[in-house]
C-alpha cells in the first residue's frame, strides 16, 4: 500500500466520497471491459445478455466486500480486465501499462496474470509492464525517502507481524476466523497441523498445475482468443490458492465467470462449464464463509462446530470451490489440447 500513501494528505471525508464515486465509475469500467472481452472472443451480446451480465457483476459478492472494507480489488479487476483485453488485441503498450499498474497495486494478484502473457510471442507488453510497475514503485519510494520516513523498516516489521504466528496471514493463526482466509494452506493447516508443510504443499500443487497449463499452451500450434481467455481464467483462479487471500480477492473469479458465460452463449457448454458455473454461484451471495462464522455457527451446538468435518468441509467450503474450479478449467484446457492434437494427426494422415 505504499502507492496509496499520498492519500494520507487528504481529509477522510473527501477520501470517502472520492472512494465511492471511483467505485461507481469502476463498475462501469468492469462492465464495459467484460462486454469488450466477450466481443473479442467472438460474441456480440444482445440487450438481455448485457442486462444479465450487469446483474451478475452487481451481485458479485467479493466486489461488495471490497467496497465495504475499503479495498482496491475493484480497481484491480478493472485494470486487469482491460489489460487482458488489450493483450488479446495485441495492443502491447496499453496492455503493458494496465498490467504494470495492476502488478504494482497488488503484486500477488497482478504478477501471475502478467506472467501468463510472457508465454505469448510478443514480449513488448511484458517489458512495458515491468517498466511501468518499477516506475510507480520507484516514485513512491523516492517520495518516502525524501520525507525521511523509515519505510523499509516499517515494511519489514509489518510483513513479519502479518505472516508471524497469530498474524492475519498465518493460516494456522489463533483466530477462529482464520478460515475466512481464501487459500489452500488454511485448509491443509486445518487437517494437518504443520504450517510449513501446508505452505510447501500448496505451492507445489499450484506450480505443478501452472507448469502443466503452460506446457499445454506451448504445444499448441494454433491459438485462438477463446483458448487464451481460458488460460487467463485458469491462472487467475489458481492465483488464489498458494498464499494469503481474503474474500475480496475473489474478484479474480470474474474471469472464469466470463468464460462460462461466453461458452454458454456460444452454445458450446460442456461438463466443465456446468461444474464451474455451479461453483461460481456461491460468489453471487454475500460472503458465505462469514455468514457461516458469524450467524450459523452461533446457533449450532459448539460440539458440532468444533468437529473436524465441520471445519474442513463447511468452514473452508470456499477453498474447496476454488479447487474444483481450477480442476474443471485445467481439465477443459487439456481436452482442448488433445482435440487439437487429434485434429492435426487426422489432417496429416489425410494429406
d(CA 233, CA 38): 13
CB 282 within 8 A of CB 318: yes
* 10-33 per-position pLDDT tens digit: 666 777 788 888 889 999 999 999
pLDDT tens track, the chain, 351 positions: 555 666 666 666 777 788 888 889 999 999 999 999 999 988 999 999 999 999 999 999 999 998 888 888 999 999 999 999 998 888 889 999 999 999 988 888 888 888 887 666 567 888 899 899 889 888 888 877 887 878 788 888 887 777 776 666 666 554 556 667 788 888 888 777 777 788 889 999 999 999 888 888 777 656 666 778 888 999 999 999 998 888 999 999 999 999 999 999 998 888 999 999 999 999 998 888 888 888 888 888 888 888 888 888 888 899 999 999 999 999 998 887 666 656 555 555 655
Cell of 5: 500513501
d(CA 205, CA 191): 16
d(CA 159, CA 244): 12
The mean pLDDT value of the chain amounts to 84
This prediction has a pTM of 0.88
The CA-based dihedral angle spanning residues 99, 104, 107, 113, taken in that order and rounded to the nearest 10 degrees: 0
CB contact set of 151 (below 8 Å; sequence gap of 6+): 2, 141, 144, 145
H/E element, 24: helix 12-40
Pick the closest to residue 179 from 71, 347, 314 (CA basis).
Answer: 314
Q: Degrees (nearest 5) of the Cα angle 210, 213, 217?
A: 135
Cell of 314: 463447511
d(CA 120, CA 106): 23
85-99 burial, b if ≥16 CB within 10 A, otherwise e? bbbbeebbebbbbbb
d(CA 260, CA 49): 13
Written as one string, the DSSP assignment of 81-99 is HHHHHHHHTT-HHHHHHHH
Cell of 58: 452487481
- The runs of H, that is alpha helices, within 293-316 are 302-305, 308-309
d(CA 231, CA 210): 10
> Taking phi first (over 0 means left), then psi (-120 to 50 degrees means alpha), and beta for anything else, what does residue 298 get?
alpha
DSSP state of 245: -
DSSP state of 4: G
The CA-based dihedral angle spanning residues 281, 283, 285, 290, taken in that order and rounded to the nearest 10 degrees: 140
d(CA 8, CA 225): 42
Amino acid at each position: 500500500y505504499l502507492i496509496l500513501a499520498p492519500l494520507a494528505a487528504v481529509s477522510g471525508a473527501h477520501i470517502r466520497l472520492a472512494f465511492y464515486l471511483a467505485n461507481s465509475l469502476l463498475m462501469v469500467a468492469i462492465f464495459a471491459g467484460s462486454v469488450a472481452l466477450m466481443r473479442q472472443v467472438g460474441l456480440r451480446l444482445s440487450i438481455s445478455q448485457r442486462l444479465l451480465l450487469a446483474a451478475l457483476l452487481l451481485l458479485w459478492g467479493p466486489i461488495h466486500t471490497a467496497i465495504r472494507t475499503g479495498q482496491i480489488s475493484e480497481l484491480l479487476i478493472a485494470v486487469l480486465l482491460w489489460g487482458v483485453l488489450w493483450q488479446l488485441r495485441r495492443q502491447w503498450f496499453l496492455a503493458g501499462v494496465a498490467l504494470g499498474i495492476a502488478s504494482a497495486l497488488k503484486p500477488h494478484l497482478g504478477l501471475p496474470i502478467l506472467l501468463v502473457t510472457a508465454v505469448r510471442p510478443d514480449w513488448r507488453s511484458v517489458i512495458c509492464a515491468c517498466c511501468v510497475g518499477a516506475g510507480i514503485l520507484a516514485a513512491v519510494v523516492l517520495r518516502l525517502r525524501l520525507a525521511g520516513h523509515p519505510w523499509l523498516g516499517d515494511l519489514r516489521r509489518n510483513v513479519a507481524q502479518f505472516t508471524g504466528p497469530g498474524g492475519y496471514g498465518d493460516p494456522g493463526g489463533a483466530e477462529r476466523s482464520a478460515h475466512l482466509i481464501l487459500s489452500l494452506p488454511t485448509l491443509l493447516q486445518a487437517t494437518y497441523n504443520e504450517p510449513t508443510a501446508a505452505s510447501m504443499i500448496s505451492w507445489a500443487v499450484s506450480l505443478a498445475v501452472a507448469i502443466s497449463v503452460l506446457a499445454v499452451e506451448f504445444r499448441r500450434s494454433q491459438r485462438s482468443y477463446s483458448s487464451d481467455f481460458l488460460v487467463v481464467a485458469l491462472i487467475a483462479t489458481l492465483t488464489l490458492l498458494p498464499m494469503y487471500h481474503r474474500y475480496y480477492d475473489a474478484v479474480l473469479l470474474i474471469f472464469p465467470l466470463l468464460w462460462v458465460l461466453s461458452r454458454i452463449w456460444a452454445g458450446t457448454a460442456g461438463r466443465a462449464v456446468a461444474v464451474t458455473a455451479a461453483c461460481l454461484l456461491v460468489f453471487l451471495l454475500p460472503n458465505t464463509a462469514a455468514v457461516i462464522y458469524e450467524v450459523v455457527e452461533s446457533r449450532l451446538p459448539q460440539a458440532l462446530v468444533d468437529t473436524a468435518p465441520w471445519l474442513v468441509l463447511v468452514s473452508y467450503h470456499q477453498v474447496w470451490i476454488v479447487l474444483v474450479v481450477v480442476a474443471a478449467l485445467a481439465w477443459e484446457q487439456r481436452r482442448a489440447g488433445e482435440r487439437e492434437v487429434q485434429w492435426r494427426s487426422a489432417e496429416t494422415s489425410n494429406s
